Amino acid sequence: MADADAGQDADHGLLVRRDGAVLRLVLDRPQARNALTPGLADRLAGVLEDTVADDDVRVVVLTGSGGAFSAGADVGEGSAALDEAAVERANRIVRAVVRLDKPVVASVNGVAAGFGCSLALAADLVLAAESASFLLPFTRLGLMPDGGATTTLAASLGRARTMRLALLAEPLPA
């Protein structure tokens, strides 16, 4: 993609922009707080995986449009259930972030909940606005945290605070 080119896949809600050596990926479903659909998750994973071979990219910035980073998986009306395929999509994205041989920066401009929190934590650096918060609401849904959150959080915050976030669904402010 040429410098300053912007591309969007309207069906998937991902804005892809190159500014010099910076690849900016914007989750663009503000009406759903940038919740990931299966299509958006697959598209994001594919772009991240393709970036490994792009020597012109020196840094990747992940962010969300509107007032949220990402509310995680889209579990709203008409959305796919959180099943084994959804967990595999989440893990594929996190693996792609971790495998990148260039820094990944999560620019968190609002809530990062569920998989959105996992995605932010997988980045090499998290820049959080004062309005940002991190939440693992999986227990409210009767689910186990996905996307490696229990490992990345424990490494960053310690076991006790991680357990409070994961088991009690307490938000962590920026």
Report how far residue 116's alpha carbon sits from residue 44's, in angstroms, rounded to the nearest whole number: 13
Percent of the chain surpassing pLDDT 90: 56
Residue 11 placed within a domain: yes
Residue 1 placed within a domain: no
Number of domains in the chain: 1
Over residues 155-171, mean pLDDT: 74
Residue 148 placed within a domain: yes
Indicate if the pLDDT at residue 159 is higher than 90. Answer: no
| Phi, psi for 52 (deg, rounded to 5) | -55, -40
Q: Containing domain of residue 25, as a range?
A: 6-173
Between 12 and 102, residue with greater pLDDT = 102
pLDDT band at residue 4 under the 50/70/90 scheme: very low
**CB half-sphere exposure, 139, CA atoms < 13 A:** 12
Q: What are the start-end ranges of the E strands in 39-115?
A: 59-64, 68-70, 104-108, 111-113
Give me the CATH number covering residue 50: 3.90.226.10
pLDDT digits (tens, 9 = 90+) for 127-151: 999 999 988 876 666 565 665 666 6
pLDDT digits (tens, 9 = 90+) for 75-111: 764 444 567 788 899 999 999 999 999 999 999 999 9
